[in-house]
Chain A
Amino acid sequence: MKWLKSALIALLLVVVFAVSCKRDELSWDMDLTVPVAHASLSLDDLLADSITSINADGSVRVVYHTAIPGLNADSLFNIPDTTIDTAYHIPFGFLTRDPGDELLPTSPSQITYELAPAQLVYGILERGKMKVRMQNDIQKRVLVTYVLSSATFNNVPATFSYVVPAAPSATQGSILEAELDLANYEIDFTGLNGDRVNTLATVLSAVIDPTETGSVTLLPPDSVIISMTFEDVRPSYIRGYFGSEQVQFGPDESYLSFFSRVQSGQLGLDSVSMTFTLENYAGLDARFTVNNLWSRSTRTGQTVFLNHAMIGNPVNINRATYSFSYPPSIPQIYSWRFDNSNSNIVSLMEEMPDFLGYDFSIYTNPLGNVSGNNDFLYPRFGINAYLDVDIPVNFFADQIVLMDTLETDFGTLATGDIRKANLKLFAGNGFPFDAGVQIFMLDANNNVSSSIIVAPGTIYSAPLAFSNGYYFANGATQSIVDIALDEAQTTAFLNSTRLLVQSTFHTNTNPNYVKIFTTNRLDLNLTADFEYRVNN
């Protein structure tokens, strides 16, 4: 019986400890209140890619500056890549040559570039390469010397000298390729006697390598062929006559990011001014014509052309002069201002366009070669054109909707443990307009899957005051936007990778305008009440 009792006791022990050790992971829910994010925004922060300026009364102007692309020196003038071949062939019969014998006569020659109608006389290269390809069919080494006497650097002509290996057999030539960097070389385009344009002076010689032994008999088609390619030549300064021709810029469009996020709504602007500025740093006369300027909204499909006396009427542009300092030329600057009084520029901007279009033409040297080949160009300067849009922030907004997408990654959070969340957006709005926000989750195909804020989600306008024909903010209004997410929405939100944020602005003052001051701010605080499951 003793052993039976002991066995029963042992069995009891085993059972008790086995049951005791079996346990599940402990978990429970916590209600956490966490400040998530905050921001304090001025108009500078709200208007991306723009610069604000402050008027004397503290009100704000938005100044938008954009360069007209495409109007550059390359459009006026460039030197194309050019290849020049020089060859020595055995004319007929045969010849015997000893080491040191000439194959090509050592005499200066001229090469003329095809640059018409330009007539260049002088230039300094910012960059450029002369690539040489030498082919030797003679079964002796050949010493090739090439002097580009028109190109000098510190008064030393561009020169190279190479020994081209002997041809390995009577039917197979040898080839040697070399390259000379022409950056910073001065180029005299007037040829051997200084009476040409677009012309380079060269000296080429080819001799049997004097260190060779024994003579060689040359038979047709033995030859020595030298190919020179001027590649990627860009001058930093060029002088001559650039011809008299019509150069077209556009029609083309420049992207305007200012209104790029607008989806719908109506904007009323008190006034707009746009200044078109042309700077001529080139030493050439021109006749400039703005054929058209327009704004285009891809959202509405509307294109509004600018009506102004300048459109379609050519303007003569005088040549720049040397400054002998930096910048190297004194530009001729022309500007035209489009405003409420002389154009429909307000209509162009009220369309909230995402593109500004242009169509220009420049007729160079309309009076011919009046400078005697003394036109000049510093390609880094050339002719520049700018648009400066100046919008006093006096406006009304009628349900203007902006949309933007955000890439999100909540991977660092233990997202699976957050059961549901109640977000609150506390807003202290010191701007004279309502702002609404709606956030949509996007699926893998960028389709909206669900919204996480129930409309309207409005941040209400600051209290308004009226003075001198404008409404303005007088204090700030506190608003709370509730963003209640159930468990499914919370999971979807935290697993989302793209969010679509829709903002709506409305002034409630149409047709009167509100005026924005530099002191206006929007203070945002986002807090979250999470139900968090520990050890989920």
Chain B
Amino acid sequence: MKKVISGVVALLLCANVYAQNFWQDYPFLNLTPEKANSRFSFVSVNGGLNFGTDAVNNGFLTHLYRGGYMDSLFVENAASQLLPVNRFGVHTEVGITFGITLKDSLHSILTFSLQKRNNISGKFSDDAFRLGFQGNSQYKGQEADISGTRFTSMSWTQLRFCYQSMQSPRSVLSFGFSVLAGNQYHEANVNYGKLFTDSQGLFVDGSVYAEYYSSDTANRAPFDVNGFGTSVDITWTYYGKTTVNTSQTFKLDILDFGFINWNNKTIRRYVDTTFHYEGVDVTPLFTNPDYVVELPDDGDFVKTDTSEIHRSIFLPGVVRATYTRSFFGRKLTLKALAAVPVWSYAVPFGSITLQYKIPRIKTAVSSGIAYGGYSRLQVPFKIDFYAVNNFSLDAGTTNLLVFFKPDELAGCGAFVKLTYCF
């Protein structure tokens, strides 16, 4: 029976704790043995926003997003929960995908997709946060260390070709190749940065070695092309022995392995300076009342240089392994996942979740624990509701607990996915 999936509307609203969604099956269709016995084509539209950080609590992030005034106690509450090294990541993407089975084969699918993706991620020390949001007064007699602060923002347009083939009744191999058009790129790296404030404020000593890169500043429109690149995605899925009551799956993914070569209009600026500042010398003012006191400007301290270069940047990729096992008439499903981010500021991610299906009300409830990525400990919770024909609704949060204590817990996300088929 020919089955056509002609439209998918997906909404991912609010926040998700992962800049890269380590749970998603994207970019490949979940080609199960049951599905391989059908012949179909599909078109889907996807969009999503994922945001995560292990740095500051959800209340602070909400304030950052909504704007307005943050009082000192509020900022200090967020600062007190910082780690020595803190991470954050934002990933957005929108796109369209078209897929079709090949040559009357029931075992191969070819898909084409066009995606607009944006990734912002970074890491920073707690000193960098405190300097930026609280100032240097609390560092009297101490040294603030902002070394290792990183920030990378990239946006690109991706044309992806995917081929999925069932190698055996239990094995599916998927391969994707993408051509990337780099749109915008910014990167800032504070390789070394320290600021010492005298205990009485009589002087500050600073030492900074930092770099900043930016794609062609003359091409700032979202779809301006400032570089090209390629990437590949590979997935191998193994379906274990399946019975009426049980099933199990093992899947290995290598996703977003590629790079963008930003063109020779890419600007590199660097700062390499050491300074000692003890205020303006006003001694001449006492002998010459007409002496004009010159306030220092950046040039007095910061020695910079600017050049145009080529620069190749790897995409934030991930290597992921997933094991799924269903019990009790497939009502209960255990899913264990481990992901290792590469060329990313995220840390390794792991999760264990249980899903319980309630057929009477056409609902499935999932929950468990997760740790890593751009966040710390999380308690995900998800409800799948498919009560209406052609409609399915997935709603959940990546950290249920944070809704009860938003000003204490760091990392929070929620998502809604609505699917309509006809």
Contacts and interface: CB of A to CB of B under 8 A. Distances in A.
B200 A426 contact: yes
Nearest to A532: B135
Interface string A1-40: 0000100010001001000000111111111111111111
Contact of A39 (B68, B140, B200, B281): B281
Interface in A311-367: none
A171 interface: no
Which of B9, B279, B282 has the largest number of chain A CB atoms within 10 A? B279
B343 interface: no
A30 B135 CA distance: 5
B361 interface: no
B299 interface: no
Contacts of B68: 24-27
Interface stretch (B84-92, B148-156, B171-179, B201-209): B201-209
Interface in A93-146: none
Which of A5, A33, A527 has the largest number of chain B CB atoms within 10 A? A33
A529 B138 CA distance: 11
A33 B136 contact: yes
A35 B280 CA distance: 8
A45 B136 contact: no
A170 to B, nearest CB: 66
B5 interface: no
A412 B71 CA distance: 27
Given A33-B201, A424-B200, A426-B200, A525 B70 contact: no
A31 B279 contact: no
Nearest to A13: B11
Contact of B64 (A26, A29, A532): A26
Contacts of A24: 66-68
Contacts of A32: 135-137
Contact of B279 (A9, A35, A44, A532): A35
Interface in B189-234: 197-198, 200-204
A31 B137 contact: yes
Nearest to B11: A13
A25 B63 CA distance: 10
Contacts of A33: 135-137, 139-140, 197, 201, 204
Contacts of A39: 281-283, 285-286
Contacts of A30: 133-135
B24 interface: no
A526 interface: yes
Contacts of B283: 39-41, 45
- Chain A facing B: main interface SS: strand
Contacts, number: 107
Contacts of A412: 295
Contacts of A40: 283
A48 interface: yes
A44 B70 contact: no
Contacts of B364: none
Interface string B143-165: 00000000000000000000000
A25 B135 contact: no
A444 interface: no
Nearest to A39: B283
A31 B70 contact: no
Interface string B265-307: 0000000000001111111011101000101000000000000
A34 B133 CA distance: 16
- Chain B facing A: main interface SS: mixed
Nearest to A27: B69
Nearest to A480: B200
A13 B10 CA distance: 11
B281 A16 contact: no
B321 interface: no
A36 B280 contact: yes
A46 interface: yes
B102 interface: no
Contacts of B26: none
Contacts of A34: 201, 204, 279
Contacts of B9: 9
Which of A24, A44, A527 has the largest number of chain B CB atoms within 10 A? A527
A37 B137 contact: no
B65 interface: yes
B67 A9 contact: no
Contacts of A25: 67-68
Given A16-B13, A45-B286, A529 B201 contact: yes
B418 interface: yes
A445 to B, nearest CB: 22
A527 B9 CA distance: 60
Nearest to B295: A412
B67 A23 contact: yes
Nearest to A36: B279
Contacts of B391: 5
A26 B287 contact: no
Contacts of A532: 135
A525 B11 contact: no
Which of A30, A41, A44, A525 has the largest number of chain B CB atoms within 10 A? A30
Given A26-B68, A28-B70, A35 B286 contact: no
Given A28-B75, A525-B202, A23 B66 contact: yes
Interface in A29-67: 29-41, 44-46, 48
Contact of B202 (A9, A23, A426): A426
A39 B287 CA distance: 12
B395 to A, nearest CB: 13
A35 B203 contact: yes
A13 to B, nearest CB: 7
A9 B420 CA distance: 11
Nearest to A29: B72
A448 B158 CA distance: 68
Contacts of B282: 37-39
B137 A526 contact: no
A387 to B, nearest CB: 22
A120 to B, nearest CB: 45
A424 B279 CA distance: 13
Nearest to B278: A35
A4 to B, nearest CB: 13
Contact of B69 (A16, A28, A31, A46): A28
Interface string B110-142: 000000000000000000000001111111100
List of 9 A-B pairs having minimum Cβ-Cβ separation, nearest first: A30-B135, A31-B137, A527-B201, A24-B67, A35-B279, A23-B67, A33-B201, A31-B135, A45-B286
25 contacts: A16-B13, A23-B65, A26-B63, A26-B70, A28-B70, A30-B133, A33-B136, A33-B204, A34-B204, A35-B202, A36-B279, A37-B281, A38-B280, A40-B283, A44-B287, A45-B286, A46-B286, A404-B289, A424-B200, A426-B200, A526-B279, A527-B200, A527-B202, A528-B201, A529-B137
Given A9-B418, A33-B135, A41-B283, 18 more contacts: A23-B67, A24-B68, A26-B63, A26-B67, A30-B135, A31-B135, A32-B137, A33-B201, A34-B279, A35-B198, A35-B278, A38-B278, A39-B286, A45-B286, A525-B278, A525-B279, A527-B200, A528-B201
